[in-house]
Structure 1
Amino acid sequence: MPEPGVPAGYAALIERYDLRVPLPPRLAAIAERHHPRSDDQWRMLTPRHQPAADMGAQLIFAFRYEGIDLQILAALFDAVAPQAFEVLIRATPTGGFARRLWFLYEWRTERRLDIPDPGTVRAVPILDPDQQFALSEGTPSPRHRVINNLPGVRAFCPLVRRTPELTALVEQGLGDAARAAVGRVRPDLMARAAAFILLNDSRSSFAIEGESPSGERTARWGQAIAQAGTRALSLAELNRLQRVVIGDARFVRLGLRTEGGFVGAHDRYSNQPIPDHISARHEDLADLMEGLIAYADRTVRGGMDPVIAAASLAFGFVYIHPYVDGNGRLHRWLIHHALAAAGFSPPGLVFPVSAAILREIDAYRRVLESYSAPLLPLIEWRATASGNVEVLNATADYYRYFDATLHAAFLYQCVQQTLERDLPDEVRFLEAFDAFALGIQGIADMPTAQIELLQKFLAQNGGRLSQRAQTREFAALTQAEADRVERLYADTFGQG
Structure 2
Amino acid sequence: MNNTCYSRKISVFHGLKAPEVATLVGYGAIIEVLKLNMPLPDKLALISDKRRSYNTDKWKVFSSRTAFEDNLYKHLVFALKYEGINLLFFKKLFGKLNEKAIIELLQVEPTGQYSRKIWFLYEWLLDKYLPVEDLSIKNYVPLIDEKLQYAIPGKNSSRHRIINNLPGTPEFCPLIYKTDKLEGYINARLSDQKNTYLNGIHKDVLQRASSFLLLKDSKASFTIEQENPGTNRAMRWGKAIGQAGAKALSIEEIERLQQIVIENARFVKLGLRAEGGFVGEHDRLTGDPIPEHISAKPEDLSSLLNGLVEANTLMQDDSYDAVLAAASIAFGFVFIHPFQDGNGRLHRYLIHHILAKKRLTSQGLIFPISASILDHIEDYRMVLQSYSHPLLDFVDWKATENNNVKVFNDTVDFYRYFDATKQAEFLYDCVLDTLKRIIPQEVNYLLNYDEFKRSISDKFEMPDNMIATLVRFLEQNNGILSKRVLNKEFSVLKDHEVEWIQESYNNIFSNKP
Structure-1-length-normalised TM-score: 0.97
Is residue 336 of structure 1 aligned with residue 352 of structure 2? yes
Match of 2:390 among 364, 369, 374: 374
> How big is each residue's C-alpha offset from its partner over 1:138-160, in whole Å with a ceiling of 9 and x where there is no partner?
12222222221111110111111
Which residue is equivalent to 1:16?
33
Quote the offset at 1:4 in angstroms: 0.8
Which residue is equivalent to 1:28?
45
- Native 8 Å contact 2:175 2:417 kept in 1: yes
The SS at the match of 1:324 is coil
The SS at the match of 1:25 is coil
> How big is each residue's C-alpha offset from its partner over 1:185-240, in whole Å with a ceiling of 9 and x where there is no partner?
11000011111111100000000111011111101101111111110111111111
Match of 1:312 among 320, 328, 331: 328
- Native 8 Å contact 1:9 1:62 kept in 2: yes
- The 10-residue stretch of structure 1 (110-119 or 82-91) with the greater mean CA deviation from structure 2: 82-91
Counterpart residue type for residue 121 of structure 1: K
Which residue is equivalent to 2:115?
98
Which residue is equivalent to 2:103?
86
Quote the offset at 1:316 in angstroms: 1.0
Cα distance in structure 2, aligned partners of 1:338 and 1:72: 28
Cα distance in structure 2, aligned partners of 1:83 and 1:65: 27
The SS at the match of 1:274 is strand
Counterpart residue type for residue 174 of structure 2: P
Cα distance in structure 2, aligned partners of 1:3 and 1:163: 23
Quote the offset at 1:36 in angstroms: 5.8
Cα distance in structure 2, aligned partners of 1:450 and 1:5: 72
Equivalent runs, 1:92-241 vs 2, <5 Å: 92-135=109-152, 137-241=153-257
Equivalent runs, 1:478-489 vs 2, <5 Å: 478-489=494-505
Gaps in structure 1 of 5+ consecutive residues: none
The SS at the match of 1:156 is coil
Cα distance in structure 2, aligned partners of 1:418 and 1:268: 39
Cα distance in structure 2, aligned partners of 1:184 and 1:138: 40
> How big is each residue's C-alpha offset from its partner over 1:246-291, in whole Å with a ceiling of 9 and x where there is no partner?
1110110011111111111222222222111111111111111111
Cα distance in structure 2, aligned partners of 1:65 and 1:346: 39
Which residue is equivalent to 1:244?
260
Counterpart residue type for residue 319 of structure 2: G
- Native 8 Å contact 1:74 1:108 kept in 2: yes
Which residue is equivalent to 1:423?
439
The percentage of counterpart residues that share the same residue type is: 45
Cα distance in structure 1, aligned partners of 2:339 and 2:247: 21
Quote the offset at 1:302 in angstroms: 5.9
- The 10-residue stretch of structure 1 (29-38 or 417-426) with the greater mean CA deviation from structure 2: 29-38
- Native 8 Å contact 1:261 1:388 kept in 2: yes
- Native 8 Å contact 2:134 2:158 kept in 1: no
The SS at the match of 2:459 is coil
- The 10-residue stretch of structure 1 (366-375 or 463-472) with the greater mean CA deviation from structure 2: 463-472
- The 10-residue stretch of structure 1 (285-294 or 471-480) with the greater mean CA deviation from structure 2: 471-480
- Native 8 Å contact 1:138 1:302 kept in 2: no
Q: Aligned-pair RMSD on alpha carbons? A: 1.6
- Native 8 Å contact 2:215 2:235 kept in 1: yes
Structure-2-length-normalised TM-score: 0.93
Counterpart residue type for residue 117 of structure 1: D
Gaps in structure 2 of 5+ consecutive residues: 1-17
Is residue 277 of structure 1 aligned with residue 284 of structure 2? no
Counterpart residue type for residue 132 of structure 1: Q
Cα distance in structure 2, aligned partners of 1:15 and 1:443: 77
Which residue is equivalent to 1:46?
63
> How big is each residue's C-alpha offset from its partner over 1:331-375, in whole Å with a ceiling of 9 and x where there is no partner?
111111111111111241221111111111111111110011010
Counterpart residue type for residue 23 of structure 1: L
Q: How many residues align?
A: 495
Is residue 322 of structure 1 aligned with residue 345 of structure 2? no
Match of 1:74 among 76, 91, 98: 91
The SS at the match of 2:145 is coil
Counterpart residue type for residue 17 of structure 1: L
Quote the offset at 1:96 in angstroms: 2.0
**Residues 298/36 of structure 1: CA separation in 2 closer, same or farther (3 Å cut):** closer
- Native 8 Å contact 2:168 2:310 kept in 1: yes
Counterpart residue type for residue 154 of structure 1: P
- Native 8 Å contact 1:364 1:410 kept in 2: yes
